[in-house]
Amino acid sequence: MSQPHFVISRVFDAPRDTVWKVHTQSEHLKHWWGPKGFKVKHCKIDLKPGGLFHYCLEMPNGDEMWGKWVFREIAAPGKLVFLSSFSDAKGGVCRHIMKEVWPLELLTTLTFAAEGNKTRVTVDWIPHNASAEENKAFDEFHHSMRGGWTGTFENLEAYLAKV
């Protein structure tokens, strides 16, 4: 099986600098980050190679879901590359809280492309150092990932309309 890959993209009615800012500053991320119905409870970002975005989301049922990004490349305002994972409150890497078999880390590339006064955001996920079983689980879960990202993009769209 070839390396599984997940890509989703959406155009937002906001300039690229604004879309970049709301992806890279905690004072913005805390208002929109996460799937629809989730609330940000903790949000801290250190935007530099090796730095972290560490967050906690409260799920609709009240449970917490921690996650983190470890930045690898920052090319403002066009691209962020990072390892994304579920985590604990201290930032340690953890397994997916809802899926027994899942890659521990995803190599994530977020690109921000100007299209006139609008911005296309593209998310590109590739399992990182995953087993064949984890790759298969990732590949078979695209429908759910698409739903999660669609809700996140809807949150972002609503937030951008206010800033």
pLDDT band at 43 (very low <50, low <70, confident <90, very high): very high
Identify whether 50 is part of a domain: yes
Q: What is the pTM of this model?
A: 0.94
Q: What pLDDT score was predicted for residue 4?
A: 83
Identify whether 139 is part of a domain: yes
**Which CATH number is 39's domain given?**
3.30.530.20
Q: What pLDDT score was predicted for residue 2?
A: 64
Identify whether 67 is part of a domain: yes
Closest CA to 13 of 109, 116, 152, 111: 116
Identify whether 43 is part of a domain: yes
SS3 category, 143: helix
Q: What is the mean pLDDT of residues 22-48?
A: 96
Instruction: Say if residues 44 and 26 touch (Cβ distance below 8 Å).
Output: yes
Q: What is the total count of domains within the chain?
A: 1
Round to whole Å and give the CA distance between 83 and 62.
26
**Structural domain range at position 129:** 6-160
Residues for the chain: how many in total?
163
Identify whether 132 is part of a domain: yes
In whole numbers, what is the pLDDT of the chain averaged over residues? 95
> 47 phi and psi, to 5 degrees?
-80, 85
User: Which amino acid is located at 11 in the chain?
Assistant: V
